[in-house]
Amino acid sequence: MGGLGFSIYLLAGLFQVFPLAQALSELAGVQRSFLISSMPSEWPIDSFELFDPAIGELIQTQCQEVPSGIGIPAFQPGIIKDDVMRMLGVPNKTTRGYWPNTLAVSYDLIPEQVSLGFLFDKNSQRIRQTEASFTSEVDTEVILLTLNGMLGCRINDQIAEGLQQVWQRESWHYQFKLDTLKGVIHWENSDRLYIGIWEADLH
């Protein structure tokens, strides 16, 4: 197994093997975004507050060592498990990971709209693979911001365009490599957009 065409669908519970400036400028039209509460026990509804961030500031401050809670929490590979648990609380599902020495956890962040999944290394407790899944009801601007965070704020023109092509159904599947990361974006069952990003040496 291996290559960019393969990913693990933690979010579905199925272990299967399967110009940026312009894109960001379009985000300036976003009127609202999510602010995540620091009280995971209140998931999923009461923990979301709406506010009007300055989009430039949002992009600049989005990627920190630990996500700030602005937007959908975007955890990039390398983040420690305790930091994920501190922000998101107890996972909805925990299973043995598909790859050796890994643990898979998933969250129904916004029921029937947004899910997050992580594959942790059992020894280092670091994220080896990070995933997000969105229904078509979620604004594409929110998805772009989330993808950027999952990449450690290193999204480029090609990846942003790849997301848009899949979102607009011009392409069903987009795969990419960025430094030491590999990723894939595609539709699942024609109604849910899946994004998976993993460390290149994972699989």
| More confident of the two residues 27 and 121 | 121
Q: Which domain holds residue 70?
A: 20-199
Higher pLDDT: 119 or 13? It is 119
- Give the CB-side neighbour count of residue 114, counting CA atoms within 13 A: 18
| pLDDT exceeds 50 at position 41 | no
Between residues 78 and 99, the one the model is more confident about: 78
User: Residue 96: inside a domain, yes or no?
Assistant: yes
Q: Give the model's pLDDT for residue 72.
A: 77
Q: What is the pLDDT of residues 179-201, one digit of tens each?
A: 999 999 999 988 899 999 999 99
Residue 173 lies in a domain: yes
pLDDT of residue 65: 55
- What total of structural domains would you count in the chain? 1
Residue 2 lies in a domain: no
Query: Does residue 50 register a pLDDT over 50?
Result: no
Residue 28 lies in a domain: yes
Q: Is residue 82 part of a domain?
A: yes
pLDDT tens digit sequence for 138-177? 988 889 989 998 998 899 999 999 999 999 999 999 999 9
In a domain, 9, yes or no: no
Alpha-carbon distance values, 150 to 83, 100, 138, 183 (Å): 15, 23, 17, 10
Is residue 57 domain-resident?
A: yes
Cβ atoms of residues 115 and 109 within 8 Å? yes
- Of 33-47, 55-69, 147-161, which range is least confident? 33-47
Q: Which residue has the tokens 């305790």?
A: 82
pLDDT, greater one: 67 or 48: 67
pLDDT value, residue 33: 32
Residue 63: exposed, middle, or buried by beta-carbon count in 10 A (0-12, 13-18, 19+)? middle
The reported pLDDT for the residue numbered 73 is: 82
Those residues whose C-beta lies under 8 Å from the C-beta of residue 189, and which sit 6 or more positions away, are: none
| Any domain includes 7 | no
Check whether 27 has a pLDDT greater than 50.
no
At 190 the pLDDT is: 81
Alpha carbon 37 to its chain centroid, in Å, reads 18
